[in-house]
Amino acid sequence: MKIGIVCYPTFGGSGVVATELGMALAERGHHVHFITYKQPVRLDFISKDIHFHEVFVEEYSLFHFQPYELALSSKMVEVVKEYDLEILHVHYAIPHAYAAYMAKQMLKQKGIDVKVVTTLHGTDITLVGSHPNYKSAVEFSINNSDVVTTVSNSLREDTLRLFNITKEIKVIYNFIDFEQYPEIGDEECLRHTIANDNERIITHISNLRPVKRASDVIKIFYKIQKEIPSKLLIVGEGPDRESIECQAKELGILEKILFMGNSNEVNKLLCYSDLFLLPSETESFGLAALEAMAARTPVISTNSGGLPEVNINGVTGFLSDVGDTDDMAKNGIYILKDFDRLQQFKQNALNQAKKFSLENILPDYKEVYREVIAGC
C-alpha cells in the first residue's frame, strides 16, 4: 500500500504513534510518506520505503498567522499525485483532518480519489477540539473522513458526547514495539549511576503541560521518599518545568530529582525505573504508561480517560481520583516497600503491556487501510 502519514513531528504521543506506525509499515514493504513541517523525532529507521516531505510555510509580513493548513493541504495534493498515494492517514484532528479534507476535494477535481483516515488522539477532542473556536471545523472534518479511529473506548465515548458524529468510530489502541524493549542486562542499565543500592527509582515522563499535573508528581514523590529512600527521574520539557523545580526546592527534595530533558530513548531510561507516576487530569490512553509497563514498571495513575483500559487497578499498578496525591503515594509505598510484591507488579505490568504489542495492533490498522481502499 502507498500511505501518506501526517502528524506532529514532536515528542507528543500522537507523533510517536504515527512515526512508529509508519516505520512498522515500511519494514513490511509498504510505501510510507511522512508529510509534516519537520522530520519526526522518532524517525530513526532508514529504508527505501520511507520518504519525508517537508511542509514549508514562507513568512509573509501581511499575515498575522502564517497559513500552515494551506501549505499542508497543497503539499498533500502534490505528494498524492507524484507518488500515487492511496491513503492519507492523519494523526490529531487539528488541523490535519481539516487540511486532508481540502486536499481530498482538490484531488477529486482532478479525478483522483484518495482516502482519508483520521486518528483522534485525545486533546484534539477533549481539550482543544471541543473549544467553540474549533468545534465546527473539527466536527466537520471528522464526519467527512473516510474512516475515523480513536486510541481508546474512552476517547470514542468522549468524541460521541462532545460532537454530533455521523460516522462510525473504530477503536485502535496505542501499541508498543517490543523490539525496542529487550531485556536490558545490568551492564547496560547502570542503575548505580542514578541511585544508591538501597534507593528505589521513580519516573515521570511527559511534556509537563498543565493536563499532566506535574505538581502532583512532586507531591506524591515527596510523600513516598519520606518512607522509602528514592530518586525521581523527570523526562520531558514543558511549561511547568520551572514551577515544579521551585516546588521541589521549597520542599527540600530538589537534590533527589533528576531532570533529564527530552529523550528519544525512553526505553533505555525506563530500565532504571521501579515505579511510574502519571497523575494526569485526563489521558485518552496514556502511551507513557504503556511504555513504562513494557519496561516492567508498575504505574500509579489517575482513573481518568482511557487509563483504566491500560493500567489495571491492583494488578499492574493502582488508579486514584485526579488530585488524590495521598492515595497515590500510599499505593506507591505499598508496591515499593516489599521486594517480592514489587517483582510481582513488575511482571504483571509486562504481561499487560504485551496485549498492546505492535504484532497485535498493527493488523487492525492494515485492515482499516485494506477496507477503505476496497471501498467497504
Contact footprint for ligand GMT (CB under 6 A): 12-15, 17, 92, 121-123, 151, 174, 207, 209, 211, 282-287
Nearer to ligand GMT, 86 or 177 (CB): 177
| DSSP character at residue 200 | E
Q: How far is the CB of 264 from ligand GMT (least distance, A)?
A: 15
Helix (H) or strand (E) holding 104: helix 93-109
Q: How far is the CB of 216 from ligand GMT (least distance, A)?
A: 14
Nearer to ligand GMT, 81 or 209 (CB): 209
For 46-197, strand residue ranges (E) read 50-54, 87-91, 115-120, 147-150, 169-171
Nearer to ligand GMT, 75 or 121 (CB): 121
| DSSP character at residue 88 | E
Q: How far is the CB of 2 from ligand GMT (least distance, A)?
A: 24
Nearer to ligand GMT, 4 or 122 (CB): 122
Nearer to ligand GMT, 107 or 214 (CB): 214
Nearer to ligand GMT, 230 or 282 (CB): 282
Q: How far is the CB of 296 from ligand GMT (least distance, A)?
A: 19
Angle between helices 93-109 and 135-143 (to 10 degrees): 50
Q: How far is the CB of 9 from ligand GMT (least distance, A)?
A: 11
Nearer to ligand GMT, 206 or 320 (CB): 206
Q: What Å distances lie between residue 86 and 20, 93, 99, CA to CA?
A: 20, 20, 16
d(CA 364, CA 375): 17
Q: How far is the CB of 127 from ligand GMT (least distance, A)?
A: 7
Nearer to ligand GMT, 146 or 283 (CB): 283
Q: How far is the CB of 106 from ligand GMT (least distance, A)?
A: 27
d(CA 284, CA 174): 10
Q: How far is the CB of 124 from ligand GMT (least distance, A)?
A: 7
Q: How far is the CB of 242 from ligand GMT (least distance, A)?
A: 18
d(CA 294, CA 269): 12
Angle among Cα 31, 11, 33 to the nearest 5 degrees reads 15
d(CA 286, CA 112): 37
- In 198-324, where does DSSP find H-type helix? 214-227, 241-251, 266-270, 287-294, 307-310
DSSP per-residue letters across 300-354: EEES-TTHHHHSPBTTTEEEE-TT-HHHHHHHHHHHHT-HHHHHHHHHHHHHHHH
φ and ψ at residue 332, rounded to 5 degrees: -60, -45
Nearer to ligand GMT, 151 or 214 (CB): 151
Nearer to ligand GMT, 17 or 77 (CB): 17
Q: How far is the CB of 320 from ligand GMT (least distance, A)?
A: 17
State the virtual CA torsion across 74, 75, 76, 78 in degrees, nearest 10: 90
| DSSP character at residue 133 | T
Q: Which of 63-92 are b and which e, b meaning 16 or more Cβ less than 10 Å from the residue's Cβ?
A: eeeeeebebbbbbbbebbeeeebbbbbbbb
